[in-house]
Amino acid sequence: MKPVLTTQPLAAVAPGPSAAPPVRRIIKLGGAAVTVKSQLETLRPEVLDSLVRTLATTSGLPEAEASTSGAGGTVLVHGAGSFGHFPASEYGVVRGPISDPRVRRGFTLSRASVTKLNGLVVGALVAAGVPAVGLSPLGLYHTCNKQVAVSGGASASALLAAGLLPVLHGDCVLDTALGCTVLSGDTLVRDLAERLRPQYVVFLTNVPGVYDRPPEEAGARLLRRIMVTPDGGWRVAEVEGGSDGGDSGGGDSSVRMSVDAHDATGGIALKVEEAAAVARMGIPVLIAQAGSEHGDAACRLGPQVAATAAGGEGGGEGEGGGVAAASGSPPATWRGTLVVLEGC
């Protein structure tokens, strides 16, 4: 039997516009950043610890007070990485149908794995005093041909209003056309940004930002500022090492954007496309390395941090970045990619 769903959003439980709490930021913690993607269910505890420190000491303002005082709360979304991706790929969960016993098996294996990761992420946050609660998309989100048809944004909003920090994750969901699919964390971020209108969005990845080609290739350059236009175009406005990438109308064909070549739920194109879609809403997007001082500063300061990049020539540290302690002051020169709407 095929699941019967409508595509009507859960407006019934959505707070009205005036009641919606202010949302400061949505942070996406990449699956490739927080796990060792090649090793089954292997966490990178130092990356998680770094984010936990950032959230526990955010500008000295506890999340709950920030959320309820008007400063705005935080939503965290994490990917699956090596929790969930292996069975999801092996059993073809992204294509469905759920009526196929093999796909259904993959669905349950993937979900059991990614909810395990969610438990680890939430557990670490709660242990540090952050008012985090897991909010697993299955049952809240439904898709139609991989596009969000029913959103769980209203539930996230209600939790924010209560001073809580919702932690969502890329998940297996039911899909009215395919039976089931994988809803990526990046797509979740776009949906939540549209509904919650945060002040900014941060993607924490396993490399320092978006490059003009795979970052492991010689001569790869970090794109420091990408301008998107309302019509769907974009151009590289600033590249690390000076001289911008030139104007490029609907996209720079000399640029093979690379954030994380190993992402299994849509790869580079999807991630950058989702980031551009968010920026096109007028919400600045920062892409930086998880576990680095740059990632930490992006989470704490939002687009303000990129002011240090505007005049900077080259980063002060090597490619690796590594895990820096979450410090109170921003790095002298921020390394990462800022994606903003032209004119903003």
**C-beta of 194: minimal distance to its own copies in Å?**
18
Minimum CB distance to its own copies smaller for 150 or for 193: 150
Minimum CB distance to its own copies smaller for 5 or for 281: 5
**C-beta of 88: minimal distance to its own copies in Å?**
14
Identify residue 270 by its one-letter amino acid code.
L
**C-beta of 320: minimal distance to its own copies in Å?**
33
The dihedral region occupied by 145, where left means phi > 0, alpha psi between -120 and 50, and beta the remainder, is: left
Determine contact, residues 152/137, Cβ cutoff 8 Å: yes
**C-beta of 60: minimal distance to its own copies in Å?**
16
**C-beta of 204: minimal distance to its own copies in Å?**
22
Which distant-in-sequence residues (6+ apart) come within 8 Å of 64 by Cβ? 73, 131, 163, 164, 165
**C-beta of 99: minimal distance to its own copies in Å?**
7
Minimum CB distance to its own copies smaller for 98 or for 286: 98
Burial 6-28 (b: 16+ CB within 10 A, else e): eeebeeeebeeeeebbbbbbbbb
**C-beta of 113: minimal distance to its own copies in Å?**
9
Minimum CB distance to its own copies smaller for 19 or for 307: 19
Q: How far is CA 302 from CA 52, 188, 209, in A?
A: 17, 20, 15
**C-beta of 185: minimal distance to its own copies in Å?**
17
Q: Which residues pair with 202 in a beta bridge?
A: 27, 286
Burial (CB < 10 A; 0-12, 13-18, 19+), residue 231, is: exposed
d(CA 270, CA 186): 8
CA-nearest of 265, 213, 219 to 89 is: 265
d(CA 156, CA 158): 5
Interface with its own copies by CB under 8 A: which residues?
Answer: 1-6, 8-13, 15-16, 19, 21, 62, 64, 67-68, 98-99, 101, 104-105, 107-109, 111-112, 115-116, 118-119, 122-123, 126, 129-136, 138-140, 142, 150, 152, 155-156, 158-159, 161-164, 166, 174, 179-180
Q: Euclidean distance between the first and final Cα of the chain, in Å?
A: 49
Give the count of beta carbons closer than 10 Å to the beta carbon of residue 139. Answer: 11
d(CA 80, CA 85): 6
Minimum CB distance to its own copies smaller for 5 or for 220: 5
Cα torsion 54, 56, 62, 68: sign:
positive
**C-beta of 11: minimal distance to its own copies in Å?**
8
Cα torsion 17, 18, 21, 24: sign:
positive
Which residue bears the tokens 């950058």?
272
